[in-house]
A = this chain, B = another copy of it.
């Protein structure tokens, strides 16, 4: 009889048995696939022998009054894109299939889910963590692929996987942008053409702040104030937040130091847009 005291040893034990889904990569999506999703699929194809995509517009991650009903669902186009990318299977369950009557279990990631978007979308990250936990159990992938554009989601899922010891490796892929810098998003279709032009200010203000930080600027309040001014100057909008936080813990910073996440969420017209950049503060700033 073996006495095992460390999870690492248990992992070793597990690795001596054949793993069911070794080589399976999962790309969880809500559909309305764009170049960002396709880059996740391509990364999965590089890393895994079998690639599956889930398409599920998850109701529990929408707050009341949000765009659950009107969220785009071009399922045939999505399937064609997956086919073209060489995806092995697409899992597109119904809401009833994923949440049968009497479904009462929730996965909560404290603290990380309460800041940034969590303050403006109550229950959102609980919905995300729960559905991702379910998808991981259903598919049992060896790896799952997420985009850096959803930086807070990435931080939360990484933490959930670590905390619950899920046997899934989380891969994070760079944000894919339009030629003018706007982060690709299924919600960009909500923008009118003038709003679409205005929306480039988000990446511009993030890039400005990143460049300032790389030049040694440490004053978080000054940086976010100036970003706010830039965003407001570009046209009518509602700023949910513009923040500079610790990239892993998502805790606020008063001075720029270490690995920082510059993140924002801004409502332009009918679209709520998010974007972010990660920046390593220089050790010896000006």
Contact = CB atoms under 8 A, between A and B. Distances in A.
Contact of A10 (B11, B87, B91, B159): B91
Interface in A210-253: 249
A91 B1 contact: no
Interface string A135-178: 00111100000000000000000011011111100000000000
Interface string A1-38: 11111110011011001111100100000000000000
Nearest to A94: B5
Nearest to A84: B1
Copies in the complex: 2
A8 B133 CA distance: 17
B88 A1 contact: yes
A74 interface: no
B105 A1 contact: no
A272 to B, nearest CB: 26
A97 interface: yes
A93 to B, nearest CB: 6
A134 B90 CA distance: 28
Contacts of A87: 1
B111 A6 contact: no
Given A7-B97, A138-B7, A103 B1 contact: no
A160 B105 contact: yes
A104 interface: yes
A41 to B, nearest CB: 12
A64 interface: no
A134 B7 CA distance: 10
A102 B104 CA distance: 26
For the complex of A and B, the 4 pairs showing the least CB-CB separation, nearest first, are A105-B163, A2-B89, A104-B110, A137-B165
